[in-house]
């Protein structure tokens, strides 16, 4: 099955009120082409799961936020974008802060079908308020639940037309876990090849987790 489609067709699968996860650490490994197309897509009340919300001046997800399409953000490092801080202070944006490792594990749990897990991270802090905890081997652990987004926007270095994915170094970051956790996964790939051309040992995400592939440019 050839999963290569236009960016417009892929983004059309995002609807009002959806929860979407977007790969990237800052702008590294971020599917900027898909985000650009999302700018043109008439959608609102999105919940966005991402390490951060782009950068000041409307870069990356920052532009989507300035378009008032995002009502809630779940992630770890929003203060890199002063616009996001201003939106929170003005009551325009709800945020759920999640420690970075916990964010990755909640996404991994979503893809693996794990109903929840206990972690020591955030125990005894404000982030653990109103969360269930228990003492294990004399230490406090906090219960965290998986993240199950409707749509994932993922950046890959290479993909074959079936949807097998290869990533470039640290641009891999959250992308594989997001691809596996989402109900619908849309991939922006710098290079698209035919089945059999990828080294099986380099494939990080197998095709069964991918729904649509869009041709992209070089990583930034």
pLDDT tens for residues 92-146? 999 999 999 999 999 999 999 999 999 999 999 999 999 999 999 999 999 999 9
The backbone torsions φ and ψ at residue 41, rounded to the nearest 5 degrees and listed phi first, read -90, 125
Distance CA 216, CA 206 (A): 19
- pLDDT tens-digit readout, 30-80: 999 999 999 999 999 999 999 999 988 888 999 999 999 999 999 999 998
**Percentage with pLDDT > 90 across the chain:** 93
Tokens for 156, please give them. Answer: 């890959």
Q: Are strands 139-144 and 19-22 parallel, antiparallel or unpaired?
A: unpaired
pLDDT at position 57 is: 82
Residue ranges and CATH numbers for the domains of the chain are 7-112+147-215 (3.40.1080.10)
pLDDT band at 158 (very low <50, low <70, confident <90, very high): very high
- Residue 181 CA to residue 113 CA, distance in Å, equals 9
Q: Per the confidence metrics, is the pTM higher than 0.85?
A: yes
139: how many CB neighbours lie within 10 A of its CB? 9
Closest C-alpha among 47, 58, 48 to residue 81: 58
């Amino acid at each position: 099955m050839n999963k290569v489609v236009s960016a417009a067709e892929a983004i059309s699968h995002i609807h009002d009120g959806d929860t979407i996860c977007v790969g990237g650490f800052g702008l590294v490994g971020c599917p900027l082409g898909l985000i650009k197309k999302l700018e043109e897509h008439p959608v609102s009340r999105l919940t966005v799961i991402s390490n951060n919300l782009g950068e000041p001046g409307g870069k990356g997800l920052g532009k989507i936020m300035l378009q008032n399409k995002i009502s809630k953000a779940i992630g770890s490092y929003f203060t890199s974008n002063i616009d996001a801080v201003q939106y929170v202070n003005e009551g325009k944006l709800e945020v759920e802060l999640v420690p970075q490792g916990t964010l990755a594990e909640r996404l991994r749990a979503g893809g693996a079908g794990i109903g929840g897990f206990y972690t020591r991270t955030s125990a005894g802090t404000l982030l653990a308020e109103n969360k269930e905890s228990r003492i294990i081997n004399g230490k406090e652990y906090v219960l965290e639940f998986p993240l199950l987004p409707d749509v994932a926007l993922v950046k890959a270095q290479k993909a074959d037309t079936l949807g097998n994915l290869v990533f470039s170094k640290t641009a891999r970051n959250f992308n594989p876990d997001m691809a596996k956790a989402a109900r619908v996964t849309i991939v922006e790939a710098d290079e698209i090849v035919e089945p059999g051309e990828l080294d099986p040992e380099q494939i990080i995400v197998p095709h069964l987790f991918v729904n649509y592939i869009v041709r992209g440019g070089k990583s930034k």
